[in-house]
A and B are shown apart, each in its own frame.
Chain A
Amino acid sequence: MSTLYALLFIAATITLVVGVGMKIRQYYKTPAPLKIATTPAPTTPSGVVLRIFREVVFFESLFKGSKWTWIFSWMFHFALLLVILRHFRYFIDPVWLPIQLIQPFGMYAGFAMVIGLGGLLARRILVDRVRYISAPSDYLMLILLLLIALSGLMMTFVVHTDIVAVKDFFNNLFTFGWGPLPMDFLLLLHIGLVIVLMIIFPFSKLLHAPGIFFSPSRNQVDNPREQRHLAPWAEALEKQDKPGN
């Protein structure tokens, strides 16, 4: 069982890294042939960095669009960030100071995650418009994340697992050695679901994470009158029938 988990974890990591890497490469290579920034838009590159920063950190547009969704999803995403950072202590030794410092917050962030996800799920079920646009995968994604959060919380606060052994398991994994994983149901469930999440990441709507950085309506500088913006495929047209050339 430990070996199976070790192999799966490696496979999942590769899928995640390669899959997302390939998607990023694809986005990067696909030309954006016209300036389509949603205006008012920044007129300088540094302005664009700031705009994306506000989107990524504060979910600015979502805030404009729907306060409830904003509250729940912001809560979820930032709790998730804290929780992930907190988990570093299971993988690195010695544990960096900042990671040590956030431990207490990280432990309770799990609850914020659950509240956020619960709110999003409730909205999906209760608001007729959101229900209409939801596919089974949209519900399953929330349920998957909820189960990960709940199984993690259970281990933190109710039935503890042998965390030292878990840390050994992962440290072994990084040196490609096999160590035993404690055979606790909650732990296996928790890690198993995380593996699932990692595998589906590059094939699902979780691509919104890299997507936001590539969204032309958000990442373009508003300077079309100053600079031409020719895509490589459009350059071929330039040679045809252009007056004055």
Chain B
Amino acid sequence: MAKAEFGVPELTQYVEVPAIKEGAMAHLKPFVVNNPDHNTDLGFPGELIDDWQTKAVEKLGDLCSRYRSLRVYLDSCVKCGSCTDKCHYFLGTADPKNMPVGRQDLLRKVYRRYFTLAGKYFPKLVGAEDLTRETLDEWYSYYHQCSQCRRCSVFCPYGIDTAEISMAAREILDSIGYGQKYCNEIIAKVHKVGNNLGLPGPAIANTLEGLEEDVWDDAEVHVRFPLDVEGAEVLLVTPSADFFAEPHVDGLIGYGKVFHEAGVSWTLSTTASEAGNFGMFIGSYENMRRVALRVRKAALELKVKRIVFGECGHAWRVAYAFLNTLAGPFDFLDPNYPVPQHICEFTWDEMQKGTLEFDKSENDDKVLTFHDSCNVARATRMGDLPGGQFEIPRNVIKAVCNHYVDMHHETIGERTFCCGGGGGLLTDDLMELRVKGALPRMTALKNAMDEYGVTHMAAICAICKSQFTKTLPYYGMDMDQIVSVHQLVSNAIVLNRKTPPPEWAEEEDEEDE
């Protein structure tokens, strides 16, 4: 079990709703931007400005006039309490400011003070407060303890989505130069290099060649992993973690094999080598748009006909729900397909067309379950029918595995629990929060292991995969238990389309002789 400098919650049969412990997580905050460039590259002041108080209040007013969600949500909460026990971070930490409404109230009390009649004249009565340095720091702390997973919005009678409030709060913080290091550094990298990890084109090309060799060694079939190929049918945009991290990369191999067997030409792009769009995490429409436009640009330059996104949760939200608005219209692409498509939609379509053959027994060493990633579940869709985002990935898994069971029904589907690392929190300085926030999912998984002998959990999100790789050991489980959906596809797919051996393979053979 991994060493922890904080108490790791114990797994019990059920996640009990804890009694509140005020200030339990007040000590935790992620690193603040320390290189002013990472703020200014994004269009924000380099460091905390002197008149932050006035400017923050102004920004709040500005956002209220531009976002109906924010305005309506700040006004409408009746403090019914329905959301209070729904957040994984509250369940794992017991800090009342991690209850969704507790989190919202940090902003709401300031909104009431400066923008409502009641708060101006009777602040005590309605819980309105001036914006003080203490409150500002609390914003920084607790709005970076929300993974923007939207679970709270499912249970709120008015659909109040704390994710929207967190995004607004982070945008206010950024606008006064009080940004979070992890997110802003990454966005700066995307703007400069094209992906979150700052991988340059040659490094990606190298990795992809390596993958071709691996598949060749394994199956004697030359499955291509093309980069920047003009005129390909599909542009695949995938999280950069897919290029090297485990188990992500096995998923990427799976996509490649599916394209190969389906006979659909495809390509990756060096400039759009990242599906994730951290612009959403910091609530910045402008940055989100800038990041999204890279995809449009790559699609135009490479003259593709379709855009497909790889396995990534928040990325799929921006792709599915925002891409068309931010970077559309995509009238230059093939109108027969939605723009963009999810790789699971692509694979499932091909499965139904019958172009793919599988040997399910290849996955017989596993009993699978599926973790619905929060943003896929509650902010997107796959296919034509509502709920397709739950059906289609499961259909894909069941088509390639013999043994599949779902976890407890209150922890999947629209009620799924976030992995604990989403929304710009996947950073080591927030490890305590990540481990504690994983509690509900870890509990559900452990129960499924004990009851049904589940051995592995599949996911379609780069954040979920990285997060579980880290947190599973804290709970006494194995990091390899988290797998990519297309890793399962990759294991079971039968490669029928034989190819001539690649040049380098012939060379190798010659060398061998």
On A, residues with C-beta under 8 Å from B are 23, 26-27, 30-36, 38-43, 55, 59, 61-62, 64-66, 69, 73, 123-124, 127-130, 132-138, 140, 200, 203-205, 207-208, 211-212, 214-218, 222, 224-231, 233-234, 237, 241-244
* Chain B residues near A30 (CB-CB < 8 A): 64-68, 71
Instruction: Indicate if B75 sits at the interface (CB-CB under 8 A).
Output: yes
Contact digits for B93-137, partner A, Cβ 8 Å, 1 yes 0 no: 000100101100100000000001110001011110000000000
**A224 with B325, Cβ < 8 A, contacts A64-B154, A132-B102, A136-B124 known:** yes
Instruction: Indicate if B248 sits at the interface (CB-CB under 8 A).
Output: no
B residues 125-164 with Cβ under 8 Å of A?
A: 125-127, 150, 153-161, 164
A-B contact pairs, 18 of them (CB 8 A): A30-B65, A38-B414, A39-B414, A55-B157, A64-B154, A66-B81, A124-B79, A124-B81, A129-B85, A130-B84, A133-B101, A134-B79, A136-B126, A208-B157, A214-B68, A217-B69, A224-B324, A230-B325
How close is A31's CB to chain B, nearest CB, in angstroms? 6
**How far apart sit A62 and B156, CA to CA, in the bound complex (Å)?**
6
How close is B360's CB to chain A, nearest CB, in angstroms? 29
Residue in contact with A215 in the complex, picked from B155, B158, B380, CB distance below 8 Å = B158
How close is B269's CB to chain A, nearest CB, in angstroms? 13
* Chain A residues near B117 (CB-CB < 8 A): 203
Asked if residues B339 and A33 are in contact (CB atoms below 8 Å), the reply is no
Asked if residues B381 and A39 are in contact (CB atoms below 8 Å), the reply is yes
Asked if residues A133 and B161 are in contact (CB atoms below 8 Å), the reply is no
How close is A240's CB to chain B, nearest CB, in angstroms? 9
* Chain B residues near A207 (CB-CB < 8 A): 75-76
**How far apart sit A63 and B329, CA to CA, in the bound complex (Å)?**
39
Residue in contact with A208 in the complex, picked from B76, B85, B99, B338, CB distance below 8 Å = B76
Asked if residues A137 and B379 are in contact (CB atoms below 8 Å), the reply is no
* Chain B residues near A138 (CB-CB < 8 A): 78-79
Asked if residues A242 and B66 are in contact (CB atoms below 8 Å), the reply is no
**A128 with B160, Cβ < 8 A, contacts A32-B68, A133-B79 known:** no
Asked if residues B325 and A35 are in contact (CB atoms below 8 Å), the reply is yes
**How far apart sit A175 and B102, CA to CA, in the bound complex (Å)?**
48
Closest 9 CB pairs of A and B: A65-B155, A211-B76, A65-B82, A135-B127, A40-B386, A217-B159, A130-B81, A129-B84, A218-B159
**How far apart sit A133 and B83, CA to CA, in the bound complex (Å)?**
11
How close is A216's CB to chain B, nearest CB, in angstroms? 5
Asked if residues A34 and B320 are in contact (CB atoms below 8 Å), the reply is no
**A69 with B80, Cβ < 8 A, contacts A40-B414, A61-B157, A136-B124 known:** yes
* Chain B residues near A218 (CB-CB < 8 A): 158-159
Instruction: Indicate if B358 sits at the interface (CB-CB under 8 A).
Output: no
Q: Across the two chains, which residue of chain B brings its CB closest to A41?
A: B386
Asked if residues A137 and B67 are in contact (CB atoms below 8 Å), the reply is no
**A65 with B158, Cβ < 8 A, contacts A203-B118, A211-B72, A215-B76 known:** no
Asked if residues B81 and A127 are in contact (CB atoms below 8 Å), the reply is yes
Asked if residues A39 and B20 are in contact (CB atoms below 8 Å), the reply is no
Instruction: Indicate if B297 sits at the interface (CB-CB under 8 A).
Output: yes
Which of B239-247, B285-293, B395-403 lies at the interface with chain A? B285-293
Asked if residues A132 and B76 are in contact (CB atoms below 8 Å), the reply is no
Instruction: Indicate if B19 sits at the interface (CB-CB under 8 A).
Output: yes
Residue in contact with B329 in the complex, picked from A40, A43, A228, CB distance below 8 Å = A228
Asked if residues A69 and B82 are in contact (CB atoms below 8 Å), the reply is yes
How close is B465's CB to chain A, nearest CB, in angstroms? 22
Instruction: Indicate if B389 sits at the interface (CB-CB under 8 A).
Output: yes
Q: Across the two chains, which residue of chain A brings its CB closest to B164?
A: A36
On B, residues with C-beta under 8 Å from A are 17, 19-20, 22, 64-69, 71-73, 75-86, 96, 99, 101-102, 105, 116-118, 122, 124-127, 150, 153-161, 164, 285-286, 289, 293, 296-297, 300, 320-322, 324-325, 327-329, 332, 338-340, 377-381, 384-387, 389-390, 414
Q: Across the two chains, which residue of chain B brings its CB closest to A230?
A: B325
Asked if residues A224 and B321 are in contact (CB atoms below 8 Å), the reply is yes
**How far apart sit A8 and B330, CA to CA, in the bound complex (Å)?**
58
**How far apart sit A39 and B328, CA to CA, in the bound complex (Å)?**
22
Asked if residues A205 and B76 are in contact (CB atoms below 8 Å), the reply is yes
Asked if residues B72 and A214 are in contact (CB atoms below 8 Å), the reply is yes
* Chain A residues near B340 (CB-CB < 8 A): 225
**A39 with B380, Cβ < 8 A, contacts A134-B79, A204-B118, A225-B324 known:** yes
* Chain A residues near B122 (CB-CB < 8 A): 137
Residue in contact with A133 in the complex, picked from B105, B158, B327, CB distance below 8 Å = B105
* Chain B residues near A136 (CB-CB < 8 A): 124-127
Asked if residues B386 and A39 are in contact (CB atoms below 8 Å), the reply is yes
Asked if residues A62 and B153 are in contact (CB atoms below 8 Å), the reply is no
**A59 with B75, Cβ < 8 A, contacts A66-B80, A203-B116 known:** no
**How far apart sit A128 and B174, CA to CA, in the bound complex (Å)?**
34
* Chain B residues near A217 (CB-CB < 8 A): 69, 150, 153, 159-161
**A38 with B78, Cβ < 8 A, contacts A129-B20, A133-B105, A242-B296 known:** no
**A40 with B125, Cβ < 8 A, contacts A61-B154, A65-B86 known:** no
Residue in contact with A129 in the complex, picked from B99, B154, B328, B380, CB distance below 8 Å = B99
**How far apart sit A216 and B164, CA to CA, in the bound complex (Å)?**
11
Asked if residues A61 and B156 are in contact (CB atoms below 8 Å), the reply is yes
* Chain B residues near A233 (CB-CB < 8 A): 66
Residue in contact with A38 in the complex, picked from B72, B96, B154, B296, CB distance below 8 Å = B154
Asked if residues B387 and A40 are in contact (CB atoms below 8 Å), the reply is yes
**How far apart sit A200 and B117, CA to CA, in the bound complex (Å)?**
10
How close is A41's CB to chain B, nearest CB, in angstroms? 6
Given contacts A135-B79, A212-B158, A242-B296, 13 further A-B contacts (CB under 8 A): A38-B161, A39-B381, A39-B389, A66-B81, A136-B124, A205-B77, A208-B77, A211-B72, A211-B76, A215-B159, A217-B150, A218-B158, A228-B325
Asked if residues A33 and B67 are in contact (CB atoms below 8 Å), the reply is yes
Asked if residues A62 and B69 are in contact (CB atoms below 8 Å), the reply is no
* Chain B residues near A129 (CB-CB < 8 A): 17, 20, 81, 84-85, 96, 99
Most buried by A among B19, B101, B324: B324
* Chain B residues near A241 (CB-CB < 8 A): 293
